[in-house]
Structure 1
Amino acid sequence: MAKRINRAIELLEAGQAIYYDGPHTGHVLTYEQGRRDARTWADYINVGMEHGAFDMAGLAEYMRGLVDGGPTASGHRTPAIIVEAPVNGTDGSNVAFNAWQFRQILGRGVHGILLCQAESADAVREFVRACRFPHHKIGIDKLGIGSRGRGSEPTAAPVWDLDQQEYFACCEPWPLSPRGELLLGVKIESPPGVEHCEEILAVPGLGFAELGPGDLGLALGYTSLQRRPYPPVMEAARAKVFAACRANNLAFLEGATPDNIAQRLDEGVRVISGHDPETAKVGRAHQKRKLPV
């Protein structure tokens, strides 16, 4: 039986890596697609709105389809859904002015948000603050009071199969709140982000982070997508971001294949992209995962 609403958090708490599916652009957000995705092999589904359409009506229908198509094979009501928000995390003011995006996304009942192009700690503080209700007090000495207002709980709570008071209690970033069911992450994908990654990843409320090799490579002059082994400057950036994740107990996200997943897991990578069920099969066996797939 599921111990948590958010399957991804449940696995990370158990020391297991998590594997995601879902495109970064062009995700089909319909009721029918949600019903199909309810039986996904993945531990969570990424919904790409950084470059894909900011489609709240579609997202609501997709979440409804996930509920009606569930439960998942692991016994959860739905797979965990993490949305890439369109706003760039370049500075605090920019994120604060666009905090409406996080409110809209969370109001559809998703389980996490990824902030792209994170370049400053102020931006990430505003991101986390915007995803929190103001009655939660853990970490406000470093974050400030949460700015998510009342109004979205009537639409979000039923997706989680909670009443509104239960939703108010547990829609909090994990592991900042041990009871939290919300998984927040950032993508470090520019030279300024790499430069400031230690302070960015020290902001309370984050659960995972990644190096974005596509945009970072583009900023460094590589128009083709760079894959590991990266050019030296990108390998140095990866090492810096990975070290900052370790220092702050954040899960590090990176791509893997069936051939290298064991090496990635042994190194400490805990969020796996690649959209490949075979990679997940090999990786789960390598970690001797006993929890239901």
Structure 2
Amino acid sequence: MTSIRHNNVISTLDAGLHVLATFSAADTASAIELSNSGYDAVVFEMEHKPWDINALRDSFQYLLSRRQVFEAGSLAPAVTPLVRIPANGAEKAQWHAKQALDLGAFGIIWPHISTVEEARNAVAACRYPSLPGTPRYEPAGLRGDGPHAATRYWGISNIEYYARADVWPLAPDGDILVGLMIEDQLGIRNLPDILDQVPGIGLILIGEGDMSQELGVPRQYEHPRVLECKRQILDICNERGIAVGHPHVTAENVKQVLDDGYRFLMSAPVRTYPGLHKARELTGRD
């Protein structure tokens, strides 16, 4: 198996480094701007935006820069496209993951994961089926077979895609990232069991907006109750070597975010990119 990665987010996390990312609507203008932004990844936001599979397909294409591909000498896109799907964990949403992956997404962000079963479904939906007894069989794959658009986007054959389209770190050479959002007290209570019982989770992203709503302090991200919940998630994940994402990184808080131990840093995709530039400076990327 070749060691060449197509997913630069996984390469960066696997090396113990920081990923610089942002949320974006799925539209061509945003994708073109992001293609030369300096971000490592974009999470196309389809939980609170419409599920528009055609807009997502076009955004993937406009995110590619032919010059970047040529100069890098690699098929890996400079800005790795991930997708946050609409449905909460309890709603299963296997078809959303399947459609996004079939277009060429390199990972799925699953909102509102609160139980072991929801986490197991999230990972399983991103894997192709195999027979019992196959190495790394669990969580047993549920993804349907229709990779032709994805293989074109990745620039590889179907056979190569099948070899790479498994979830990391369960499959060491896998190029699919499964990110789970922990957004409530139930999710925090179950997080140790989720990480201990469900292999294949590559990222935990804190949903501090919904978390603050549940705590009765909506959007007060620095409220002590919110900070305590975030600290619990960080501690649980750090004990198990799982990267944690912060969804609201700014030029003002990025130093604290880094000091706290976050490794997937999401800042707002405004034209001046103040959060991104400060993060690049503090992580030694400039």
Regarding TM over 0.5, the answer is yes
Quote the residue 2:20 is aligned against: 19
Note the C-alpha offset of 1:263. Answer: 3.4
Quote the residue 1:111 is aligned against: 106
Quote the residue 2:169 is aligned against: 175
Q: Percent identity?
A: 27
How many residue pairs align between the two structures? 274
Quote the residue 2:54 is aligned against: 57
**Cα 1:56–1:270, aligned 2, differ >3 Å: closer, same or farther?**
same
TM-score by length of 2: 0.87
Note the C-alpha offset of 1:99. Answer: 0.9
- Identify the match of residue 284 of structure 1 among 263, 280, 283: 280
Task: Name the Cα RMSD after superposition.
Answer: 2.4
Asked if structure 2 preserves the Cα contact closer than 8 Å seen for 1:252 and 1:269, the reply is: yes
Secondary structure of 2:82 counterpart: strand
Asked if structure 2 preserves the Cα contact closer than 8 Å seen for 1:38 and 1:70, the reply is: no
**Cα 1:60–1:209, aligned 2, differ >3 Å: closer, same or farther?**
same
Distance in 2 (alpha carbons) for counterparts of 1:147 and 1:80 = 24
**Cα 1:4–1:77, aligned 2, differ >3 Å: closer, same or farther?**
same
Letter in 1 for 2:166: E
Distance in 2 (alpha carbons) for counterparts of 1:138 and 1:275 = 40
Asked if structure 1 preserves the Cα contact closer than 8 Å seen for 2:212 and 2:221, the reply is: no
1:205 corresponds to 2:230: no
Secondary structure of 2:13 counterpart: helix
Distance in 1 (alpha carbons) for counterparts of 2:59 and 2:67 = 12
**Cα 1:68–1:284, aligned 2, differ >3 Å: closer, same or farther?**
closer
Quote the residue 1:257 is aligned against: 250
Asked if structure 2 preserves the Cα contact closer than 8 Å seen for 1:198 and 1:241, the reply is: no
Secondary structure of 2:169 counterpart: coil
Quote the residue 1:235 is aligned against: 227
**Cα 1:217–1:267, aligned 2, differ >3 Å: closer, same or farther?**
closer
Could you list the per-position Cα deviations for residues 215-256 of structure 1 after superposition, in whole angstroms to 9, with x for gaps in the alignment?
Answer: 111112223x1122x23x322211221112112211111133
1:166 corresponds to 2:165: no
Give structure 1 stretches of 5+ with no counterpart.
none
Letter in 2 for 1:246: N
- Identify the match of residue 139 of structure 1 among 123, 136, 141: 136
Letter in 1 for 2:87: V
Asked if structure 1 preserves the Cα contact closer than 8 Å seen for 2:136 and 2:170, the reply is: yes
**Cα 1:160–1:189, aligned 2, differ >3 Å: closer, same or farther?**
same
1:188 corresponds to 2:182: yes
Distance in 1 (alpha carbons) for counterparts of 2:200 and 2:106 = 14
Quote the residue 1:99 is aligned against: 94
1:120 corresponds to 2:118: no
Letter in 2 for 1:85: I
Distance in 1 (alpha carbons) for counterparts of 2:158 and 2:44 = 25
Note the C-alpha offset of 1:85. Answer: 0.9
